């Protein structure tokens, strides 16, 4: 792996999570801390794992079951730790950029009207998604990165980072919805914003995998990334997981309401088993 530009050593320290230690350095996002922070784990170079995550107080800190933000962040950190290096760009864009009050109003509107979150935002006069990844892109450039493995299900995010000049390989993040509301939210993101929801996390969501816009990671790139993993056991677990999301099984016959969000679902159990071995 090519080593990126020297990191600001004055913030480098040990970071321990799930019993595993990694070095982290902290940098303010380009534009200032009001936009967010960059956490640089290990010594990332080109082809490293990158998660660009917008703040969600409910999901990230309070571990709400109502959205997939917490599990997405958790899984991204699992993979970065397993790889031994990577970057988390944490952006202050609560409520898809509209703020926490807007998010709360949106939840209330959805409860009263039965609408999805994007419709609720529009009804309340908020843009459905006001987030921007411009500051994240310029921050990543300052790290000396040119090509990244982007941990995301969001095609808009991938497009914006790619148009900023990066070679982007998308690695979708499969997460298990923690509630019926979270499952509905995933479905709304898939349907309204064309998010790539891996079939192992959302078996009701097959059609976007056929889309021309779907960027599957070229096998060579993933292989190079996986070679960077030092522990063969972890390498095996991550390869199995990436293979699962890169070559999804088509399930056109399933409707959203026909798939129970339940720990009895064998697919979920399989995904959980693989993810739990990543850091084992």
Cα(85)–Cα(24) distance, integer angstroms:
9
Looking at beta carbons only, is 24 or 69 nearer to Zn ion?
Answer: 69
Task: Examine residue 67 and tell whether it contacts Zn ion (CB under 5 A).
Answer: yes
Task: Examine residue 56 and tell whether it contacts Zn ion (CB under 5 A).
Answer: yes
Catalytic residue among 55, 131, 181, 241: 131
Looking at beta carbons only, is 7 or 186 nearer to Zn ion?
Answer: 186
For helices 232-246 and 69-83, what crossing angle results, to 10°? 140
Task: Examine residue 202 and tell whether it contacts Zn ion (CB under 5 A).
Answer: no
- Decide if 60 is catalytic: no
- Decide if 129 is catalytic: yes
Beta strands 13-17 and 86-91, pairing class:
unpaired
Looking at beta carbons only, is 82 or 188 nearer to Zn ion?
Answer: 188
Which pairs from 179-183 meet CB under 8 Å and 24+ separation? 179/65, 179/66, 179/261, 180/261, 181/65, 181/66, 181/67, 182/65, 182/66, 182/67, 182/68, 182/261, 183/256, 183/261
Looking at beta carbons only, is 67 or 88 nearer to Zn ion?
Answer: 67
Binding to Zn ion (CB under 5 A): which residues in 124-183?
A: none
Cα(203)–Cα(251) distance, integer angstroms:
7
Binding to Zn ion (CB under 5 A): which residues in 217-236?
A: none
Token pair in block for residue 112: 């009263």
CB 76 → Zn ion: shortest distance, Å? 14
- Continuous segment of H or E residues that includes residue 58: none
Task: Examine residue 59 and tell whether it contacts Zn ion (CB under 5 A).
Answer: yes
- The residue range among 26-34, 51-59, 128-136, 171-179 that interacts with Zn ion, by the rule CB under 5 A, is 51-59
Q: Which residues bind Zn ion (CB under 5 A)?
A: 56, 59, 67, 69
Q: Which residues are catalytic?
A: 129, 131
């Amino acid at each position: 792996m090519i080593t990126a530009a020297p990191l600001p050593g004055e913030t480098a320290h040990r970071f321990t999570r799930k019993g595993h230690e990694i070095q982290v350095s902290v940098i303010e996002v380009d534009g200032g801390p009001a936009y967010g922070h960059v956490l640089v784990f290990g010594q990332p170079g080109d082809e490293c794992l990158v998660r660009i995550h917008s703040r969600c107080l409910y999901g990230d800190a309070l571990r709400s079951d109502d959205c997939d933000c917490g599990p997405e962040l958790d899984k991204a950190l699992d993979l970065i730790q397993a790889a031994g290096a990577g970057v988390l760009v944490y952006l202050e864009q609560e409520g898809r950029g509209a703020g926490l009050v807007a998010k709360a109003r949106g939840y209330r509107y959805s409860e009263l009207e039965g609408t999805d979150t994007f419709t609720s935002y529009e009804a309340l006069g908020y843009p459905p998604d006001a987030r921007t990844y411009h500051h994240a892109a310029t921050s990543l450039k300052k790290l000396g990165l040119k090509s990244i493995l982007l941990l995301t299900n969001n095609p808009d995010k991938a497009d914006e980072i790619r148009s900023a000049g990066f070679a982007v390989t998308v690695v979708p993040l499969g997460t298990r919805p923690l509630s019926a509301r979270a499952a509905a939210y995933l479905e709304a993101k898939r349907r309204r914003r064309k998010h790539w929801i891996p079939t192992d996390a959302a078996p009701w969501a097959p059609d976007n995998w056929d889309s021309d816009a779907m960027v599957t990671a070229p096998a060579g790139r993933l292989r190079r990334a996986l070679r960077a993993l030092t522990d063969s056991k972890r390498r095996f677990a991550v390869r199995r997981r990436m293979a699962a999301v890169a070559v999804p099984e088509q399930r056109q016959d399933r409707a959203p309401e026909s798939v129970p969000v339940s720990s009895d679902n064998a697919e979920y159990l399989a995904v959980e088993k693989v993810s739990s071995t990543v850091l084992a």
